[in-house]
Structure 1
Amino acid sequence: MSPIITGLLLAVAIPIFVMTMSGRIGVLLAMKGENRFDHIPERLKRLTLFGLGQKRMVDPEEFTPGLMHVLIYAAFMVLALRTVMLFAMGFSSTALAVLTDLGDPFWASQPALLALYKVYLLAKDVVAALALVGCAYFVWTRWKVKPDRMTVSWEAYLILGFISGLMISEFLFGGSHMVVANAAQAKMGATQVPQTAASLVWWEPVTSAVGLAMMPLGENAAHAVGVAGFWIHLAIILTFLNFLPLGKHFHIITGLPNVFFQRTHSTGKLPTPNLEKEEFGTATVKDLTWKQGLDLYSCTECGRCQTHCPTYITGKPLTHKGVNQDLKHWIWDHEQWVEEGYGPSKVKEPLPEIVGSALKAETVWACTSCGWCEQACPVFIENVPRLIDMRRYQVQVKAEFPPEIQRVFEGIERQGNPWGLGQDRRDEWAEDLALPTWGDGGGPYEYLFFVGCAGSYDDKQKKVSRALVKIMREAGVSFATLSKQEMCNGDSARRMGNEYLFQSMAKTNVETWNSMGVKAVITQCPHCFNTIKNEYPEFGGEYRVINHTQLINELLKEKRIKLSSVMNTKLTYHDPCYLGRHNGVYDAPREVLNAIPGLEVVEMQRSKREGFCCGAGGGRMWMEEHIGTRINHNRLNEAALTLKHAEDPNTPYPSASDKKKPGLVGDYKDKGGTGVVAVACPFCSTMLKDAVNDTGREENIKVKDITELVADSLVETRTGSGTVTPGVTVSAKPE
């Protein structure tokens, strides 16, 4: 075409892109280091599955828009090679002749390469056409549907225009060559139409169709359109390239690396700072790690993190999309300050703290750490650890935090439990049960039953503890407790930012348990389960950890316990975030419930991986909700509506596909709906029981732990105190 024009375009565009990217990369290099180069085989596997394969894009709740995005993504991947070809054509007339004319002598000597090139052209044509379908879908979605999760912006329409322009210009360029080739053959009086002539061909079906449509233009006009299409295509590519680092479509560059560098462990595991090196949390943006900075760059603003976010749905000042954008734009506006230390006044000055400059304190403290944002994010942005790091600084350095959690810290530190109740009262719940205590000379015991603070002190959860003992004794499970020696595992302290207190509790517990020879632990609290399973190994606590729903499910499968009908009622199950979303335990609780005769189990609309938080996670159990509506009310409203709809299918039930107002099922205010809400977490139990009382549904809805339901249905065959049987092993199978 024209080497001069092509060269000038590159000479202008590439330096601008390099200058912009140097600032973006410089900021990442100025942030804290972090090792994300471990587990390379696993990272490559995940990159293939979730990055190149786009698996998370087509999650059920967003399947259609996800599929449309995949169509556009596929076009970008396939047309990347075509873009290289076009630049080659711009510099070389030979490349232009060979790549646009399959009758060129070059191809006659390369039949295998010609066949491969035709296959590529077919793929290019198909994905480019499908990309136009995707673009049309997103224009219609933003213009007409206007989903709640999408932010209205001119940038989206501009990018869709760029993408559409690339595809259309490609078709016009290819179609014009077919018209010109056809005209040339006609002038030569050829009796046969060559392969490049304007007729439908299988290797470029769309391009050849465009060529046929352009035939009435004539040779000169078609050639002019093709030339315009060529230069427009290159101009869009280079403009697009320079626009990417300026907006949300930066993820086109950073998305795949971010997927590769995702953490390879459970989302329930928080990073462990080295307190001896004074790693006390995140104060300024330079305290973020380079991976956390890459997370900010990779946020697509798709809003998937909002659809089931408890804080967003209930009107709290936190959306993770918003946090990402606020931090990203603050960094971009102050790149020199972050990278070189020069503030807006052009003199060296320290960076301001994030809380107070880029984010508000109430934003940082609103998160329940339920993990939905990370489950939904297609590029695996890690939002929760970043917020917890900010809390760590607020607590450990500034001593600025919600006042109600001061007593929680004091209770854990002085009495080993967040209520601050006497340590000598830890085993009062089991005074008449004659439970064996680990290290009392009995045993050997197979399992440590870690009762937990709620199971030991909370009146409601004490019943669950006793019910679990009843089940384990009936099954002959070999277990013992720590009695008065048991201490809090530290979960709430860690997620409220008091890392020093958490590490003190963790080290003390691990040292005690290891000295006693503990190998396996049974928990009845998902928060205890998550902490001991995922976070204690960093302190030397390598245990096989089993949640009580997994335990009961295995006992049922092995026919070591038998259930009889105790109720005929409708029941819906609430997934605890730290059992389900963070640790993938969804089936065991449901299999247990389905094994209880007489129960009719109905699912809530937001269940399993889409489950809605009760509002207690992330230490919010101990904090007041002063803003928006209460999260536990929203969840209880959904449970009531689910039970009511099961009774009367004519009861209106909002569609889960309503994109304009997510969480509409949580707006149900009627008293209707009778049955049981089953839980598997003491925090969830407390929050949902409080919601039942707050909303005046005490007569209709009961909240019960799965353990209580099983114990009520249990057929007891053992007599006496129910002494345990040493050596009986139960192993929870992964789900």
Structure 2
Amino acid sequence: QGARPRSGAPMHLLIFYGFLTLFIGTSLLAVNTYSEMLFGFKFHQGGYYLAYEMTLDVMGVAFVVGVLWAMGRRLLARPASVGHQTSDLLALGLLLVLGVTGFWLEAARMANSPQPWDWSAPVGHWMSGWIGPVSPGMYKAVWWFHLAWVLVFFAVLPRMRIRHLVLAIFSTGGSPQRAPSHLVPLSMEEVERTGKIGASEPADFSRWHLLSLDACMECGRCTDVCPAHNVGKALNPKQIVQSLKGAMETGGNVVEAAGFEPLMDCTTCGACVEVCPVNIRHVDLIVDARRNLVAEGQLSGTGATMLRQLAGTDSAWGQNRNDREAWMKGLDVPLCRDGAAFDVLFWVGCAGATDPGAIRTTRAVAQLLTKAGVRFACLGKEESCTGDPARRLGDEFQFQEQAARLVPVFEKYGVKRIVTTCPHCMNTLRHEYPDFDGRYEVVHHTQLLAEQVAKGRLKAAAPAAGSVTFHDPCYLARANGESDAPRALVGDDSSFNADRAPVVAWVQSEPGQPLRRLAEPEHRGPKTLCCGAGGGRMFMEEPTDKRPSDRRAKELLATGAKTVAVGCPFCRIMLDAGLKAQSDEDIRLVDLAELLQEANP
């Protein structure tokens, strides 16, 4: 995995697979030796042995090349995000000596006792002719020298960063099977047992999380892609991991080690998790620390205000429950409490019933579903916040209260399928409500609308060439893997590729229609740039000179499109401010549902 093309990727592959192959080969040699000594059975022979020798020589060369590459990269290229320690070069030096003495040992064996099949190990065969005849005593000396280096390497391995070569296997192999955007619930039984909420010290993290801290490669990819770090905020995901790792070794306090401000800067966008080669779950660590912060009463300002509003009104916006149906004015929206028969529950969400821009999206979706003949219904006043903002901000039990309130409502009406315009609600209902016995099929409105387009019930929008760009929401594209459905609504039915060049992409609207064009930003799909609203940041103060939304707005404006389409109410709010700050032009900001509605009046 990686945030951008890196020379380090093939370099690490050469070192890792070279070392692994040589380790396995040496182990097989030991098994063969003792098998022959104890049982008289020998399997190192025939065609297998020739392939064995050739494989070890090829992978040995790959290993040495990888180590030399790594040394050159650290001495010459010196990438800033990696960090540099003298011990790194020492470790690489040890590896280099291991590789070279391994070939030297092979050559000494061949020179001491030549065999007709020595050609199967070309490097050792060439070196044996170069070093000339070797006495048995010299061969033993080389053998002991190589063994000494092997023992030295494994002795110092636990104290050097290069240990990630070994720990990465266990970190990636043992990583949780749950989705990265799925946070683990905190039980009241656990609180009663430990006497604390969240993580105040490293021992409060799971064993796997602690292992992943130790497996960190310090490659800096997480920091490279962090939206908060890239606009000058205090958050540095790599430093968070290293600070927690240091606290793990010294027994320090989690918040003191990581820092209050960096912990609260996180938008939980998951970009760091997406690119981590050893599957570190940075968001898990940060949210667990936030839980302790909130429990200790350290959260203040607008974030704390939001939590109080949610507790008092069941709305993150502090909206009166009776106002949740105000958006329906002039529309014939079926309600569950009226006994409406439905196949899909339209989950409006707090933003969709409160924010003016989000309300336009809500109304557009309701009208489109009606036009497409989809049997849907809404909860209206019975709807309340899913608890997502509270959970990401660290108030775990406020989230659980919301879930405990909603699951019985869903059960009462026999809800099986849910559609929502909010990717944050979608993620919570899809991945996290099953932990509270709430199991439903949850889709984003672009997915359900794309279904209707595919069935011919609605027409795809047909924007003018290059006039529209689309901002992928983190919780839709990255957390839930959906990038195709939004593009299908504007006529792009081609397979989405996040790695294609940031140019205007040609798409076909309908058979017989002229080619349309969608202006794609540089970062899109799973590699999208966060708007800055996630993790409860939507409700917190934001320095005007350090807003992720401004950075994203610049990139969207660079496409030349005059219309920016979104698929998330949070993104809409943040980008509205970002676009106004970055451009004096009249840039239109709409949800994809509004574009589709224009094509289906």
**What residue number does 1:195 align with?**
116
Deviation string 1:618-646 (CA, Å, 9 cap, x unpaired) is 111111234973211111112222x1xxx
Q: Offset of 1:238 from its aligned partner?
A: 1.5
Please state whether the residue corresponding to 2:443 is helix, strand or coil. Answer: strand
- Is 1:612 matched up with 2:529? yes
1:433 to 331, 337, 352: 331
Q: Offset of 1:402 from its aligned partner?
A: 3.9
Residue 708 to residue 145, structure 1, CA distance change in 2 (3 Å): farther
Which whole-Å CA distance do the structure 2 matches of 1:564 and 1:685 have between them? 19
Residue 148 to residue 591, structure 1, CA distance change in 2 (3 Å): farther
**What residue number does 2:54 align with?**
122
Please state whether the residue corresponding to 2:164 is helix, strand or coil. Answer: helix
Deviation string 1:167-186 (CA, Å, 9 cap, x unpaired) is 1111111112323335xxxx
Q: After the TM superposition, which of the residue ranges 247-256 and 450-459 deviates more from structure 2?
A: 247-256
Q: Offset of 1:545 from its aligned partner?
A: 0.8
Deviation string 1:596-627 (CA, Å, 9 cap, x unpaired) is 57752132222222221111111111112349
Which whole-Å CA distance do the structure 1 matches of 2:26 and 2:577 have between them? 60
- Is 1:274 matched up with 2:187? yes
Which whole-Å CA distance do the structure 2 matches of 1:616 and 1:301 have between them? 27
Which whole-Å CA distance do the structure 2 matches of 1:227 and 1:704 have between them? 76
- Is 1:289 matched up with 2:187? no
2:19 to 76, 79, 83: 76
1:164 to 87, 96, 117: 96
1:692 to 556, 564, 579: 579
Which whole-Å CA distance do the structure 2 matches of 1:288 and 1:416 have between them? 30
Which whole-Å CA distance do the structure 2 matches of 1:86 and 1:165 have between them? 20
- Is 1:636 matched up with 2:549? no
**What residue number does 2:270 align with?**
371
**Residues 356-435 of structure 1: matches in 2 within 5 Å?**
356=256, 358-396=257-295, 398-435=296-333
CA contact (8 A) 1:177 1:196 kept: no
Which whole-Å CA distance do the structure 1 matches of 2:550 and 2:151 have between them? 51
Which whole-Å CA distance do the structure 1 matches of 2:414 and 2:57 have between them? 65
Q: Offset of 1:330 from its aligned partner?
A: 2.7
Deviation string 1:482-524 (CA, Å, 9 cap, x unpaired) is 1122111110010011111111111101111111221111100
Q: Offset of 1:86 from its aligned partner?
A: 7.8
> What one-letter code is carried by the residue in structure 2 that aligns with 1:303?
G
> What one-letter code is carried by the residue in structure 1 that aligns with 2:288?
D
Please state whether the residue corresponding to 2:529 is helix, strand or coil. Answer: coil
Residue 528 to residue 403, structure 1, CA distance change in 2 (3 Å): same
Which whole-Å CA distance do the structure 2 matches of 1:167 and 1:258 have between them? 26
1:211 to 128, 145, 165: 128
**What residue number does 1:354 align with?**
254
- Is 1:312 matched up with 2:229? yes
Which whole-Å CA distance do the structure 1 matches of 2:20 and 2:454 have between them? 48
Which whole-Å CA distance do the structure 2 matches of 1:212 and 1:625 have between them? 70
Q: Offset of 1:251 from its aligned partner?
A: 2.3
Deviation string 1:569-607 (CA, Å, 9 cap, x unpaired) is 432222211111111112211222235577521322222
- Is 1:709 matched up with 2:556? no
Which whole-Å CA distance do the structure 2 matches of 1:232 and 1:630 have between them? 58
Which whole-Å CA distance do the structure 2 matches of 1:587 and 1:142 have between them? 40
2:359 to 458, 462, 476: 462
Residue 678 to residue 599, structure 1, CA distance change in 2 (3 Å): farther
> What one-letter code is carried by the residue in structure 2 that aligns with 1:706?
L
Please state whether the residue corresponding to 2:346 is helix, strand or coil. Answer: strand
Q: Offset of 1:331 from its aligned partner?
A: 2.3
Q: Offset of 1:372 from its aligned partner?
A: 1.4
Please state whether the residue corresponding to 1:593 is helix, strand or coil. Answer: coil
Which whole-Å CA distance do the structure 2 matches of 1:67 and 1:573 have between them? 33
Identity %: 31
Which whole-Å CA distance do the structure 2 matches of 1:168 and 1:223 have between them? 20
**What residue number does 1:562 align with?**
459
2:518 to 601, 620, 636: 601
CA contact (8 A) 2:422 2:569 kept: yes
CA contact (8 A) 1:316 1:628 kept: no
Which whole-Å CA distance do the structure 1 matches of 2:544 and 2:259 have between them? 14
Please state whether the residue corresponding to 1:328 is helix, strand or coil. Answer: helix
Residue 122 to residue 566, structure 1, CA distance change in 2 (3 Å): closer
> What one-letter code is carried by the residue in structure 2 that aligns with 1:231?
W
Residue 547 to residue 114, structure 1, CA distance change in 2 (3 Å): same
1:542 to 423, 434, 439: 439
Which whole-Å CA distance do the structure 2 matches of 1:150 and 1:229 have between them? 36
CA contact (8 A) 1:170 1:229 kept: no
Q: Offset of 1:566 from its aligned partner?
A: 5.4
Residue 114 to residue 577, structure 1, CA distance change in 2 (3 Å): same
Which whole-Å CA distance do the structure 2 matches of 1:460 and 1:414 have between them? 24
Which whole-Å CA distance do the structure 2 matches of 1:678 and 1:498 have between them? 32
Q: Offset of 1:316 from its aligned partner?
A: 2.1
**What residue number does 2:172 align with?**
259
Q: Offset of 1:145 from its aligned partner?
A: 2.6
CA contact (8 A) 1:550 1:589 kept: yes
CA contact (8 A) 1:181 1:196 kept: no
**What residue number does 2:155 align with?**
242
Please state whether the residue corresponding to 1:379 is helix, strand or coil. Answer: coil
Give the TM-score normalised by the residue count of structure 2: 0.90
1:451 to 345, 348, 353: 348
> What one-letter code is carried by the residue in structure 1 that aligns with 2:131?
M
Which whole-Å CA distance do the structure 2 matches of 1:627 and 1:469 have between them? 35
Which whole-Å CA distance do the structure 2 matches of 1:325 and 1:601 have between them? 41
1:230 to 143, 149, 168: 143
CA contact (8 A) 2:461 2:491 kept: no
Deviation string 1:373-427 (CA, Å, 9 cap, x unpaired) is 111112211111111111111112x111141112211221222212212222111
Residue 81 to residue 277, structure 1, CA distance change in 2 (3 Å): closer
Which whole-Å CA distance do the structure 2 matches of 1:88 and 1:517 have between them? 62
Residue 60 to residue 370, structure 1, CA distance change in 2 (3 Å): closer
CA contact (8 A) 1:569 1:676 kept: no
> What one-letter code is carried by the residue in structure 2 that aligns with 1:711?
Q
Which structure 1 residue ranges, 5 or more long, are not aligned?
1-55, 96-105, 183-193, 339-351, 644-672, 717-735
Which structure 2 residue ranges, 5 or more long, are not aligned?
493-508
CA contact (8 A) 1:87 1:234 kept: no
Which structure's relative contact order is higher, taking Cα pairs within 8 Å and 6+ residues apart?
1
Larger Rg: 1
Please state whether the residue corresponding to 2:336 is helix, strand or coil. Answer: coil
CA contact (8 A) 1:549 1:589 kept: yes
Which whole-Å CA distance do the structure 2 matches of 1:228 and 1:606 have between them? 57
* Alignment coverage as a number of residue pairs: 575
